[in-house]
Structure 1
Amino acid sequence: MGPVNVGLDIGATKTLGVVVDADGRVLAQERLATAPGAEGIVATAVGVVEALAAAAGAVTAVGVGVPGLVDVERGALAHAVNLGVDGEWLPLGDLLASRLGVPVSLENDVNAAALGAVALTGVDDLVYLSIGTGLAAGLVLDGRLRRGVSGAAGEIGHVPVDPAGAACQCGQRGCLETVASGRAITDAWPSGDVPAAQALFAAAAAGDVRAVAVRDRFAAGVADAVRVLGLSLDPGVVMLGGGVAQLGEPLRAAVSSALHDQAIASPFLASLDLAGRLRVVPVDHPVAAVGAALLGPREAVA
């Protein structure tokens, strides 16, 4: 194999790296446990890239998807608390480039995943809705990644929908994230060693009445997020991703059912067929790493 581009998805527990072709097909992948803090993040990323280079060929460029606040122009990262990076800007792009000797592009992980979802579907008007610990969206509109003036585009989880709802970590009350996120499921359905979302959906499928109620409330919250995105952006596809999306088809079906219920009294909403636009990321498809591998030196910003 000749020179290759590598994409990295750096998360709190693992760093996943992939080599992809021009169409986003994964040719090789490698993962390592992420060591915390600036030095740990850099060392882990370098280890993954070196392993991929040994397996697939000389690396010509690296794209990185990472949680937190990302300054794309500077290649800097801040407020990635789960990675051990606080509010001070970390020049992660420069640190990696100096160690690897190749250009490095940095992007928020949800935005990178949106680009990976575009490569997966071939649809260039798409919203990637990440349902992980929190809730956030990556927006690709007419083929252009939308970050927003302050990088806050797609922070759908912090749209308040219930003035009497639970306090959110962002300081507001009743945000969508307090209902429609992995953290919300864990709070509502503690499950020990089994992932809470899997335990909840299994119990609901088995007929547990309380589990059905918790699942349906969660699904209605995700449907609310889809509805806000659909009415504000009208995307061709809404792709459900993130850790909770490992549920696969049961998640899509539950959210689709909630969308249908919400549209019963509204011919206008029914005519939009938001449920018909739903997709779910195939289990274990590394959309964030793929999207990172496809990053240009300066991805188009709208």
Structure 2
Amino acid sequence: MATSTPHPRADKDSVQAGPISLGIDIGGTKIEGVAIDGDEHLLACRRTPTRQGNQAVHDDTVTLIRHLLDQVGPNQGPITVGLGIPGRVDANRGMVDDAVNLGIRHMALGPAVAKTTGLPVRVENDVNVAALGAASQAGNTLTAPGTTPHSASARNQARRPASEPGRDGPRALPDQDNHVVAFINLGTGLAAGIIRGGRIEHGASGAIGEIGHISVDAHQFPCKCGQRGCLETVASGSAVEALWPGFAHPLPDLIARASQGNQRAQRVEDIIGHGIALAVQIVALTIDPAIIILGGGMSKTGQPLLDLVTEHLHRSAACSHFIASLNLPDRLRLATADLPIGAIGAALAGRMAADSRPFDFIGKEIAS
């Protein structure tokens, strides 16, 4: 059953005069959608369970778009749609391949939804839109080490001053023209999304950020990709489930039992903590982002996860002046758990369907 969250701004008797951006985050268990206006105010939210197959994904996406527009009410401004979906995505053509958890082998998702709705549509990989949504919050709601969510210190540590827009238009985090934010998605798998200057980086083949399949771990656990020792086997939700099985929420349980002195839990926690810290170091040394955001399902563990990763980063820094000089714990942030960052990022990405400029964050917060 679909659920919606009405917003006081979404008044059927009022007419929205500005642009409306719709974002749809298509996941393996649910499809979540939002509508935001030109000032990044959240106008509407809605979610529905995921059904598998090309036709079902198309139909459910279109239905969600129509529900969001109905919640927003009459609109006189332009409307854009952004879709985030797992798998290999050709963002320029709106094509999706190998979204296996959705039963999609090949699908022209963007053109199909655009044809049905008559709206401009852009399709991006789900990690990329989550990265964009998280990056849009980098000046406001992310949790920094040693803080709690939404505290004044968390906001102050994450916030950077906005500069005047340059000749190419405003940028995502405008204190640097080439400001980089990395988002590490700690979900069933492990991958990273890179936002540079307000834009999603795709690379030559769309494989940028697939750090989960870098084979560097000494345990040499087998990976589904066919290799051994992939980072994903020690730094993902599936890794925790494999190494600490039998719990509905294995990572919180693992951390709790390790803190109580359970030696097996401590050994597994050490493997997971080292693996995630290694992922952070790889991202830092290859991309050198100003901010590294931890997100995905594992991030719902909250501050204990951030503390665990920070501890392992400090361990590396203790034996390496070079690593210490990178100040990695100071760059680390935890994605906020109470905002649909994937859908928000999809909405922001959708603007690229009608506008080629960088995304305009300017330290704004998605207002609810």
TM-score (norm 2): 0.77
Q: Could you tell me whether the CA contact under 8 Å between 1:24 and 1:119 is conserved in 2?
A: no
* 1:69 maps to 2:123: no
CA distance in 2, matches of 1:97, 1:156: 32
Deviations 1:88-142 (A, max 9, x none): x300011111222211110001111111122111444100000000000000123
* 1:60 maps to 2:114: no
Deviations 1:142-187 (A, max 9, x none): 3332110000000011111036601211121101001100000000
Aligned with residue 264 of structure 2, among 210, 219, 231: 210
* 1:269 maps to 2:323: yes
Aligned twin of 2:252: 198
Q: Could you tell me whether the CA contact under 8 Å between 2:20 and 2:38 is conserved in 1?
A: no
CA positional deviation for 1:196: 2.0
CA positional deviation for 1:299: 5.8
Secondary structure of 1:255 counterpart: helix
CA distance in 2, matches of 1:222, 1:195: 18
Aligned with residue 135 of structure 2, among 92, 95, 118: 118
Unmatched segments (≥5 aa) in structure 1 = none
Aligned twin of 1:20: 36
- Alignment-mate amino acid for residue 85 of structure 1: I
CA distance in 2, matches of 1:278, 1:253: 10
Q: Could you tell me whether the CA contact under 8 Å between 1:191 and 1:199 is conserved in 2?
A: no
Shift of the 300–165 alpha-carbon distance from structure 1 to 2, 3 Å rule, reads farther
TM-score (norm 1): 0.93
Q: Could you tell me whether the CA contact under 8 Å between 2:81 and 2:119 is conserved in 1?
A: yes
For 1:76-155, list aligned pairs within 5 A: 76-86=95-105, 89-122=106-139, 123=173, 124-155=179-210
How many aligned residue pairs are there? 298
CA distance in 2, matches of 1:71, 1:233: 22
CA positional deviation for 1:75: 0.3
Unmatched segments (≥5 aa) in structure 2 = 1-14, 140-172, 174-178, 359-368
CA distance in 1, matches of 2:222, 2:39: 43
CA distance in 2, matches of 1:233, 1:187: 30
* 1:170 maps to 2:187: no
Q: Could you tell me whether the CA contact under 8 Å between 1:114 and 1:291 is conserved in 2?
A: yes
Deviations 1:14-71 (A, max 9, x none): 0000112335443321000011101111121122112111111358111001110001
- Alignment-mate amino acid for residue 92 of structure 1: L
Aligned twin of 2:286: 232
Secondary structure of 2:137 counterpart: helix
Percent identity, aligned pairs only, is 43
- Alignment-mate amino acid for residue 299 of structure 2: A
- Alignment-mate amino acid for residue 215 of structure 2: P
Larger Rg: 2
